Amino acid sequence: MIVLLASLPFYPLVSFLVLIAFGKRLSWRLAATVSVSSMALTVLVSAILLFELSTSQNQVLSVNLWHWFDLSNQMGTGAVNVSFYLDGLSAVMISVVSGVGFLIHLFAAIYMKDDANFSRFMAYMNLFIVAMLILVLADNLVLLYLGWEGVGLCSFLLIGFWYQEKSNVLAARKAFIVTRIGDTSMAIGLLLIFNTFGEFNIAAVTTLAQQADIVTDPNSGSSAEQSNNIYWIALLLLGGAVGKSAQLPLQTWLPDAMAGPTPVSALIHAATMVTAGVYLIARMHGIFLLAPEVMNYVAWLGALTLLLAGVAALAQTDIKRVLAYSTMSQIGYMMLALGAGAWSAGVFHLMTHAFFKALLFLTAGAVIYALHHQQNLFKMGGLLKQLPFETSLFVVGLICLMALPGTSGFFSKEAIIAQLWSSNTAGPMLWWCAIIGALLTSIYSCRLFFLAFLGTARCSEKPQAEKSILLRSALIILALLSLFGGLIPLDLTLVFSAAIQTPLVQLIEPTWLHSVAIITPFIGILFSWFYFKNYRRSPLKVTEHNIEASEGKFVLFCRQGLGFDAFYNMLLVKPYQWLAQVNKRDVFDQIIMLNVWYVGLWHDSLILVQNGSLRWYLAAFGLAIILLLGVSFL
Amino acid sequence: MLANLTSIDSLFYLAGLVAVIASLKVVTGHNTVHALLYLVVSLLAVAVCFYLMGAPFAAGLEVIVYAGAILVLFVFAVLMFGLGKDETTNAPKHTGLANMLGAMLLAFALLVEIIVIINNADMQQNLQATVISSKTVGIMLYGPYLLAVEIASFLLLSGLLASYHYAKPDVTGGPL
Amino acid sequence: MTTIPLFHVLILSSLLFAIGFVGVVARKNTLFILMSLEIMLNAVGVAFIGAGSVWQQADGQVMFILILTLAAAEVAVGLALLIRMQKKYHSLDIDLLNQMKG
């Protein structure tokens, strides 16, 4: 069993190596078989491990592969091993990653069939799975950081997959740089952890932190300093999570990352990588619980992102960008949950979100492909009649997103909202934010649906759907998971055992909390039904066929991500460019060139001596002898 | 010092004077052959100096080899190849001592320095009266300096070959 | 018999050397330069003979013989080069040989 756990990331790793080594020489069939079957193996092993976990003691499995290196400071020796740790939280993550990953690989194998660089694509996808598995299975922070960087790398490689297009490369670069800022914050946090506790092992760090908090002896300076450090550690780790999960203020990269192929958007920017930040906070919950102010920040960041992304999604014209902002918004929900202390609910929402968001993205991909790579919503329409299969799947995804009763999204979102009102670190204001967020979610979902699938067909060409059985079955499985995934029993109480908090202030919850939460999406649907009736209705007159995107100032502002891009451009990019312009001749280079100038000066003056005249040379001999004799004489 | 001069010593100073004057005439002359002849005179005067310093073999060599072979070679070359015309493309308008001024300054400085240094070296030695005969020199040459003699012969051979080669008339179309 | 101080011999030697030096540096005609070189070599020989007489060793004269050999070879080669120069440039001006400049 332990061997199985240790071997989990190696199946996709082997596939990656094979595909990279033999790349172009493999036929499509062979490359697809290698990559998808490695994912199938991973799913199988994950399932076996899950079963094993439920029957094992302590509900924990761990295995040590090899000893990596040692670091030591005055607090102790931090041994860093490559070892994997499987508990309830990791089990959820590996099943999501491998399960959804497998389905997306299957979809991608057929979707990217005609691409010239198919092997490279599948290789990068497999490498991503390897890095993600290492990230979630790591038992110490250094190995986690390795996985963290690995997923960042794969994100870069995959966003810029079609690198011949300059805009794709720029989007990839932007993603990398913005997440880099978060990664740096996280690295500083890691170093601070080591400085404070002398350990990198997550369990050890959590224990030490709790001990430091209990001992509140003011005379012992080290523990007081440790408590102070815990606040900063939590804040820095939050910075890392914010970068990777595209929350405020580092959210600008996610909409542009839609430049990558659709399976990439589904896998990385919906289901797995962007949830790495959520996983980090959940995993380090021991630290975060000891810093309640930081948890409050987490909750507020989540809520603000939630609202901001919801507003931005209302103004988008590209179908994938709507889904990107939707992802941003839903991760805001997860952050809100974690900040409020609803750990299990946040992780549960992570799981269900992975299902329905992957479904939405893949279906959107199928639609885009069918319309010959048309992504503009205002050039779609009337697809209900032309692409019924895709439409129905999209409907399934959307109702899960809106959290209509009975779907998996409903269970997870209600679980979150229920714990917001009386949480210590959240409160009524954040509850209202969540409700407004749900309202916005339903409004933009309906807008999306009406524009793309109802109304008249604005696309000039006839859609050609992809009719592959494998592709459709992958989508159907995702749809089933989205609908019924809420019934999966998720027992994370053992993982978060320390997290059960008693409310400081006993707020009496109003009785209407629950009902308001349930009817909010319906209010949204009702509102959109009438507000967007132009989009959904087939107009009677022929001249009204084309609907144009609104170009009002406020709408444009929202479309461009509420001005964050422009703000960062003004704050960071422009000064840097100005500085580079000023330093065009490179100050340091000029200082070194001073040396060259000096030598040149001597050259120009001494070259006059070498004039080729023999008598001059002889006279110089004589002069030299005179001088030498004179010097010796003195 | 003048009162103690014996006739032999005064001959030395006279020969030295002749050598210096003749050298000056060589350096400032314009006619090539005249300058060569003055050079011969200078060398002969120096040979006299050698003889008076108790080195008859050197004196003989000076006359026979230096004045009698080397300078004769000079004269032959000058007369045979027409090197005698003093053609200088950048001939100065006024030939005189003025264009030698810089060199004279340098040489004067050099002379003064050397004499001052030798003066400070506190040499009290006089030349000895005994003559170093050819026999002694010959024993030296065949003894410790044998290798030097052989190398000197190499030098002469290479000089011979080089001068033969360079002085050949140009044959067009063949290797030089 | 002779009471000539070595100092005077060396004065003679350095005087002849300086005169030769003037000739080498100041004259343009290559032939005159060669002649001045001979004067300088001769001056060195004077110094050697004087020293050999002071220390009563034949080494001074041996040194002089070697200098003589050197002078002979040098004159031979020098004159040959001079002949070539005359053929090429039709002049013996040493300032014509100035192509080795920097």
Interval A106-144: pLDDT, tens: 999 999 888 888 999 999 999 999 999 999 999 989 999
Å between B105 CA and nearest CA of chain C: 9
Query: In the structure, what pLDDT confidence band is assigned to residue A150 with cuts at 50, 70 and 90?
Result: very high
Task: Report which of A261, A311, A462, A297 is spatially closest to residue A372, judged by C-alpha positions.
Answer: A462
- b/e string for A562-578 if b means 16 or more Cβ within 10 A? bebbeebeeeeeeeeee
A176-223: pLDDT as tens digits = 999 999 999 999 999 998 888 888 888 888 888 888 776 654 444 556
Under DSSP, is residue A71 helix (H, G, I), strand (E, B) or coil?
strand
Residues B79 and B6 in one domain: yes
Cα maximum dimension of chain C: 58
Looking at residue A628, its pLDDT comes to 92
Please count the structural domains in chain B. 2
Among the partner residues B55, B123, B126, nearest to C52 by beta-carbon distance: B55
A514-544: pLDDT as tens digits = 888 888 889 898 888 888 877 777 665 555 5
CA distances from A43 to A49, A245, B88 (A): 10, 24, 101
Looking at residue A6, its pLDDT comes to 81
B72 in reach of chain C (CB within 8 A): no
Average pLDDT over residues A511-515: 79
A214 in reach of chain C (CB within 8 A): no
A613 contacts on C by Cβ (under 8 Å): 94-95, 98
**Which residues 103-122 in chain B show a CB within 8 A of chain C?**
103-104, 106-108, 110-111, 114-115, 118-119
Looking at per-residue pLDDT, the higher value among A75 and C87 belongs to C87
Cis peptide before A249 (omega within 30 of 0): yes
- b/e string for A153-184 if b means 16 or more Cβ within 10 A? ebbbbbbbbeeeeeebbebbebbbebbeebbe
The residues, any chain, with a CB within 8 Å of residue B99's CB and separated by 6 or more, are: B92, C26
Task: Report which of A159, B44, B76, B126 is spatially closest to residue C3, judged by C-alpha positions.
Answer: B126
Residues B3 and B69 in one domain: yes
Kindly state whether residue B107 falls inside one of the protein's structural domains. no
Using the predicted structure, report yes or no on whether residue B94 has a pLDDT greater than 70: no
A-contacting chains (≥3 CB pairs under 8 Å):
B, C
Looking at residue A468, its pLDDT comes to 81
Around Cβ A472, how many Cβ atoms within 10 Å? 18
Verify whether the Cβ–Cβ distance B55 to C74 is below 8 Å: no
Kindly state whether residue B94 falls inside one of the protein's structural domains. no
Verify whether the Cβ–Cβ distance B103 to A619 is below 8 Å: yes
> Averaged in consecutive runs of 10 residues, what is the pLDDT profile of chain C (102 residues)?
81 95 90 94 95 90 95 94 88 85 73
Looking at residue A63, its pLDDT comes to 85
| A76-86 and A61-73 strand pairing | antiparallel
Among the partner residues A619, A629, A633, nearest to B106 by beta-carbon distance: A619
Count CB pairs under 8 A between chains B and C. 257
B117 contacts on A by Cβ (under 8 Å): 629, 633
Of the listed ranges A196-200, A270-274, B54-58, B73-77, the one predicted with least confidence = A270-274
Q: What structural domains does chain C harbor?
A: 6-91 (1.10.287.3510)
Looking at residue A473, its pLDDT comes to 87
A571 in reach of chain B (CB within 8 A): no
Most confidently modeled range among A224-228, A456-460, A608-612: A608-612
B6-37: pLDDT as tens digits = 677 889 999 999 999 999 999 988 888 999 99
Among the partner residues B110, B116, B117, nearest to A622 by beta-carbon distance: B110
Among the partner residues C2, C36, C57, nearest to B8 by beta-carbon distance: C2
C26 contacts on A by Cβ (under 8 Å): 615
Of the listed ranges A31-35, A102-106, A444-448, B117-121, the one predicted with least confidence = B117-121
Verify whether the Cβ–Cβ distance B113 to A630 is below 8 Å: yes
Residue with token string 């502002």: A557
Verify whether the Cβ–Cβ distance B27 to C7 is below 8 Å: no
Verify whether the Cβ–Cβ distance C101 to A615 is below 8 Å: no
**Which residues 43-102 in chain A show a CB within 8 A of chain C?**
none
Average pLDDT over residues A593-597: 91
B81 in reach of chain C (CB within 8 A): yes
Mean of the per-residue pLDDT values for chain A? 86
**Which residues 144-163 in chain A show a CB within 8 A of chain B?**
none
CA-based nearest residue in chain C for residue A608: C102
C21 in reach of chain A (CB within 8 A): yes
Å between B1 CA and nearest CA of chain A: 29
Question: Are the C-beta atoms of residues C93 and B165 closer than 8 Å to each other?
Answer: no
Task: Report which of C1, C12, C75, C18 is spatially closest to residue C49, judged by C-alpha positions.
Answer: C12
Looking at residue A504, its pLDDT comes to 57
Verify whether the Cβ–Cβ distance A611 to C98 is below 8 Å: yes
Query: In the structure, what pLDDT confidence band is assigned to residue A488 with cuts at 50, 70 and 90?
Result: confident
Using the predicted structure, report yes or no on whether residue A460 has a pLDDT greater than 80: no
Verify whether the Cβ–Cβ distance C92 to B88 is below 8 Å: yes
Average pLDDT over residues A316-344: 91
Among the partner residues B16, B32, B89, nearest to C96 by beta-carbon distance: B89
B110 in reach of chain A (CB within 8 A): yes
Å between A622 CA and nearest CA of chain C: 8
A377-415: pLDDT as tens digits = 888 877 888 888 888 999 999 999 998 888 888 888 888
C87 in reach of chain A (CB within 8 A): no
A628 contacts on B by Cβ (under 8 Å): none
User: In the structure encoding, which two tokens stand for residue B15, read together?
Assistant: 């020969």
Using the predicted structure, report yes or no on whether residue A588 has a pLDDT greater than 70: yes
Cα maximum dimension of chain A: 118
Kindly state whether residue B125 falls inside one of the protein's structural domains. no
Query: In the structure, what pLDDT confidence band is assigned to residue A279 with cuts at 50, 70 and 90?
Result: very high
CA-based nearest residue in chain B for residue A623: B106
Instruction: Write the CATH number for B36.
Output: 1.20.120.1200
User: In the structure encoding, which two tokens stand for residue B173, read together?
Assistant: 């179309």
Looking at per-residue pLDDT, the higher value among A534 and A301 belongs to A301
* Domain around B160: 133-170
Question: Are the C-beta atoms of residues A211 and A290 closer than 8 Å to each other?
Answer: no
A629 in reach of chain B (CB within 8 A): yes
Among the partner residues B103, B106, B120, nearest to A626 by beta-carbon distance: B106
Using the predicted structure, report yes or no on whether residue A441 has a pLDDT greater than 90: yes
Looking at residue A218, its pLDDT comes to 46
